[in-house]
Amino acid sequence: MQPLQIAILAAGKGKRMHSAMPKVLHSLAGKPLLAHVLQTARTLKPRAICVVEGSGDDVRRRFPDPDLVWARQDPPRGTGDALRCALGRLPADGVTLVLFGADPMARAPTLERVVEHARRGALSLLTVDLDDPSGYGRIVRAADGTVAAIVEHSEATPEQQEIREINTGVMAAPTAAFARWLGEVRAENSSGEYFLTDVIAMGVRDGVQVTTTTAPDADEGLGVNIRRDLAELERRHQKLQAEALLDAGVSLIDPARIDVRGNLSCGRDVTIDIGCVFEGSVTLADNVTVGPHCVIRDSKIGPGTEIAAFSHLDGAQVGARCRLGPYARIRPASTLADEAHIGNFVEVKASSLGARSKANHLSYVGDSTVGADVNIGAGTITCNYDGANKHRTVIEDDVHIGSDTQLVAPVTVGRGATVGAGTTVWKDVPPGTLALNEKTQVSRNGWKRPRKG
């Protein structure tokens, strides 16, 4: 079997995106467009992947992956010239598959069929049928149905513009044939560019079989030229993600209102309400319920846990049967043991809470180690930052912290201790004691409340 290599054309500046950022770095489902293409390319197990970049090093810096070979196309002179740049950095034998860095929707099984035709010596094309083919190159066929040429939209006659079968740009052929044809491509067109599609007519001329693989889903041929394209692809991609979750048994209150920007793994009987965003790697165990408009990033949620509306979790490890929110914020390096409760407007950062511990209202727990069966009253804050360094607070098991308490780290509250409401704790509290700041309450007779004049 002939070895496979892949050329990914990613040098376009994306002027129509009206952005200083290269088009392939714009985000789809939380990852650059090029990242999606690379992920698919790697599943084909090629011996080499060459990415063609434009001027500047933004793309290469974003993808320092050691398995990538880089070629530069500067100035940009069309897709034919871009592939020529790539072939200069790839082995001269085998089969070359051409992909585009801003076209992320092609699936590996479809591309495998394209490559298989090329391994038999054909010039192999991926096509789709579109209801609106505007802007895409048309597949022009001879009377016997064989491919005669591809005509770019800007060069097509009115009759050719009525053709619905379009060239996705994805193609594969023996590498030596590509090199031979590209040597003949000329920039004799209205844009002055070297069109890769010109090799189709050359293949026909040379008697090479030109085969087509029609993608089973037209979405596989879609790419990004303008921001409207990107927004449309985002919704299409999210629709696929939602359908996969539904097929796996997840209950989505509205499949059109969920965004998965990474990998979401769900157990049995998981329910996700509207407007939720999942980023990075997220795992929801059995019977997890996520309320509306939550954002969860790089977190693992234990079985039976309920996350109420508008809660944000980032880098959290949450145990079983916990209750979070609404409006809870769990920041990185935080761990909640089983049956912990984090309530409304409570923030936890770089802290661990033991089993059955609670912070239910308006509190900040930062850089803290909290034991089991601890109750943290409303308005409590850990004062962990002295302006230069972070310090740790330790709250041992079965401690009760009264409302409106400040714990000035470094400090330890011993097992079974109680801290009275409104206390500022700046010294360690021994186990089993009551800590408070003594105050005198005064009532003044005859005092008159001020009134507006």
Q: What is the pLDDT of residues 100-135, one digit of tens each?
A: 999 999 999 999 999 999 999 999 999 999 888 887
Domain definitions of the chain by residue range: 4-221, 227-435
Distance between CA atoms of residues 432 and 409, nearest Å: 20
Contact 13, 26 (CB under 8 A): no
Distance between CA atoms of residues 25 and 62, nearest Å: 8
Neighbouring residues of 9: CB distance < 8 A, sequence distance ≥ 6: 52, 79, 82, 83, 86, 98, 99, 100, 101
Neighbouring residues of 127: CB distance < 8 A, sequence distance ≥ 6: 139, 165, 166, 167, 168, 212, 213, 214, 215, 221
Neighbouring residues of 365: CB distance < 8 A, sequence distance ≥ 6: 346, 347, 348, 349, 351, 353, 359, 376, 380, 382
Distance between CA atoms of residues 54 and 239, nearest Å: 32
**Mean pLDDT in residue range 380-407:** 96
Flag whether pLDDT at 190 surpasses 80.
no
* Structure-token pair, residue 24: 């392939």
Flag whether pLDDT at 6 surpasses 80.
yes
DSSP string, 215-264: -SSGGGG---SSHHHHHHHHHHHHHHHHHHHHHTT-EES-TTSEEEEEEE
Say which CATH superfamily domain 227-435 falls into: Hexapeptide repeat proteins (2.160.10.10)
**Mean pLDDT in residue range 205-220:** 93
Distance between CA atoms of residues 93 and 280, nearest Å: 38
Instruction: Share the mean pLDDT of the chain.
Output: 94
Distance between CA atoms of residues 34 and 177, nearest Å: 27
Flag whether pLDDT at 175 surpasses 80.
yes
**pLDDT tens-digit profile of 31-65?**
999 999 999 999 999 999 999 999 888 999 999 99
Q: Classify 115 in phi/psi space as left (phi over 0), alpha (psi -120 to 50) or beta.
A: alpha
C-alpha closest to that of 175 among 265, 258, 45, 87: 87
**What is the end-to-end Cα distance of the chain in Å, rounded?**
95
pLDDT of residue 61: 95
Which residue in the list 26, 153, 237, 361 is annotated as catalytic?
361
Q: Which residue has the higher pLDDT, 42 or 218?
A: 42
- What are the backbone angles phi and psi of residue 324, rounded to the nearest 5°? -130, 140
* Strand pairing category for 364-366 and 289-290: unpaired
Q: Please report, rounded to a whole number, the percentage of residues in the chain having pLDDT higher than 70.
A: 100
**Mean pLDDT in residue range 133-158:** 86
Contact 3, 47 (CB under 8 A): yes
Band (448; pLDDT cuts 50, 70, 90):
confident
Residue located via tokens 């914020």: 329
Say which CATH architecture domain 4-221 belongs to: Alpha-Beta Complex (3.90)
Positive or negative torsion for Cα 238, 241, 242, 243? positive
Question: Is the peptide bond prior to 75 cis by the omega test (within 30 degrees of 0)?
Answer: yes
* Structure-token pair, residue 409: 């780290």
Distance between CA atoms of residues 406 and 156, nearest Å: 73
pLDDT of residue 451: 85
Q: Fold match between 4-221 and 227-435?
A: no
Flag whether pLDDT at 9 surpasses 80.
yes
Active-site residue, 400 included: no
* Structure-token pair, residue 51: 């990415």
Flag whether pLDDT at 300 surpasses 80.
yes
- What are the backbone angles phi and psi of residue 301, rounded to the nearest 5°? -115, 125
> DSSP character for 427?
S
> DSSP character for 83?
H
pLDDT of residue 85: 96
Torsion of CA 71, 74, 77, 81, to 10 degrees: -20
Residue 343 has a CB neighbour count (10 Å cut-off) of: 20
> DSSP character for 134?
T
**pLDDT tens-digit profile of 330-367?**
999 999 999 999 999 999 999 999 999 999 999 999 99
pLDDT of residue 13: 79
pLDDT of residue 192: 82
Band (447; pLDDT cuts 50, 70, 90):
confident
**Mean pLDDT in residue range 260-265:** 96
Positive or negative torsion for Cα 85, 88, 91, 94? positive
Residue environment code for 13-51, b if the CB has 16+ CB neighbours within 10 A, otherwise e: bbeebeeeebbbbbebbbebbbbbbbebbeebebebbbb
User: What proportions of the chain, in percent to the nearest 5, are helix, strand and coil?
Assistant: 20, 30, 50
